[in-house]
Amino acid sequence: MKRLFFWVRILTGLLFVFSGIVKLNDPSGFSIKLNEYFDVFAEDASTQQDSIQVQMVAKNEGGQVFAESMISMQELYAFDRHREWSIQAEHDGRDYRYSLSASGMSLTQFDVYDSSANGHDLVLNVKQNDQLESTIFHWNDSVSSESWTAQVDVSSWVKPESALHGLFKSLKNYSLWFSGFFCALEVLLGIAMLLGYEMRVTIAVTAVLIVFFTFLTGYSAYFQKVTDCGCFGDFLKLDPWTSFKKDLVLSAMVSVLLLGQKFNVPVFSRPFGHKFMGVCAALLTGFGFYCYEYLPVWDFLPYKEGNNIKAIMETLPPGERATDSMRITFVLKKGSDTVHTDAYGYAAWAEKGFEYHERIEEIIEKGYEWPIHDFSIIDMEKGEDLTSAFLNHKGYQWLYVAAYVDQAYQGALPGASLLAAEARKRNQPFYGLSSTSSDLAAQYALENKLPFPFYSTDQKTLLTMARYNPTLYLFKGPVVIRKWSGRNLPDAGVFNSSLMP
């Protein structure tokens, strides 16, 4: 038991140190993963809202209903206060057409072929359970077409959110702090394991963490909520079931440590151990802060220096499948009898009177998941896609990535402006990328007198590219030459440096 305890202690310590350092190297990345969990838990804890029924009715001058639309069901949300619908009525002297839409999307429409229905009212009925709100619009059809907007107060129909929903949403504001704390704690626990330091406390805290993360990975695996636990950051991706099995093994290892802690022999004396662990805690805190402010020391992301992002987007590695390999099974029924068959046997069973009931799809072998598949540069103002122009450019070009311009480090703007102006002199494209709305991004560029425009890119892509907001990239063609945190942008001398021979 003594030998088993020793090797389990060492193995657990090494695993914790490795896992914690990999995540602490990229605290922003782990905070993004924590946000995924908080969003999932908030969604699962949210209050189930009732739907509302929406219908449009046409009445003649006597108040009799002569036409009505189908009932449209719309889901309420906890943030709803008012709902707005647009109604359009038109005729050509004989036939009438009515349409109802919300947020630019058509909900329903119906036609009336009755030229005698002059001077009628349109009624919008919005109903939930036994509560009904009706809005009446009078249309004198001497006018060939008319439109109205109806706004209904639905706040009294909305159920308040649960306290847990609010808690998980609020925790997102502290995800970066949680990331730094848990990653540093994981490394400290690993070091303590290796040194045999305060094993009672170390094993107790480790056991609590393992139970908690086993729950998380089990929850993710069973409900397929988060497809990667982030256990080893971007260094190693684990699917949910693999992560869960890994945590079960760790749980067994912690059980061995609990049973064998009486065999522990610490490497250092207690006073020296306290000082040593204090120094480690300070160094780990500084390391995590540095990696957040100045980008990860070890870059495991697909946009790391030296990567050709066009090749990554387009190249299928040898032995990989472009698409998923699927097994499709058809379930057919005839009375109380049920059969499962593939496409080849479908016709034979159909001839025997069996009818289609459902289709079951099972993934036999997953297709290759491209590390970069959603990179794009869109000019929303002109409606142009500049992605191809960027990927096929032969010379040097720059990307200034600010996922949220209103939250970006303002101290980076003078340096970015200087570099953009110099790049323009050398005919080197300089793009600003943001997921902020194009209007707000344009206003931000105007207010700060930036000599480059902002284009739209998917938020998730930008959070992968820019671990610090903002981050500057230098490309040659589609190849990443260098990237800098907004905290340490280069000066104009970079144009005459070895990076740009």
Longest dimension (CA), the chain: 100
In this model, does residue 397 exceed pLDDT 80?
A: yes
Q: Do residues 501 and 424 touch, judged by C-beta distance below 8 A?
A: no
pLDDT at 231: 59
Q: How far apart are CA 498 and CA 501, in angstroms?
A: 5
Q: Measuring CA to CA, which residue among 295, 407, 286 is closest to residue 29?
A: 295
Measured CA to CA, the distance from residue 67 to residue 76 in angstroms comes to: 27
Q: Where are the alpha helices (DSSP H) in 172-302?
A: 175-195, 199-223, 240-260, 270-294
Q: List every span in the chain annotated with CATH 3.40.30.10.
A: 378-496
Bridge partners (DSSP) of residue 85 are 150
CA distance 480 to 486: 17
Q: How many CB atoms within 10 Å of residue 282?
A: 10
Residue 228, pLDDT > 70, answer no
Q: What angle do CA 55, 58, 64 make, to 5 degrees?
A: 115
* Alpha helices (H) along 338-452: 343-351, 387-391, 413-425, 438-447
pLDDT at 190 over 90: yes
Q: Using CA atoms, how far apart are residues 87 and 123, in angstroms rounded to an integer? A: 10
Torsion angle defined by CA atoms of residues 118, 121, 124 and 127, in that order, rounded to the nearest 10 degrees: -110
**pLDDT at residue number 352:** 87
Banded pLDDT at 441 (limits 50, 70, 90)? very high
Rounded mean pLDDT, 112-132: 75
Name the CATH superfamily housing domain 378-496. Glutaredoxin (3.40.30.10)
The pLDDT tens digits of the residues spanning 296-320 come to 999 888 999 999 999 999 888 887 8
For tokens 């602490």, the residue is 24
How many angstroms separate the CA atoms of 361 and 368, rounded? 18
- C-alpha span between 407 and 440 (Å, rounded): 12
Residue 27 has pLDDT above 80, yes or no: yes
Residue 234 has pLDDT above 70, yes or no: no
- Give the H or E element holding residue 17: helix 2-24
DSSP state letters, 132-179: EEEEEEEE-TTSSEEEEEEEEE-GGGSPPPPHHHHHHHHHGGGHHHHH
Q: Are 398 and 432 in contact (CB under 8 A)?
A: no
Q: What is the pTM of this model?
A: 0.77
- The number of beta carbons lying within 10 Å of the beta carbon of residue 469 is 20
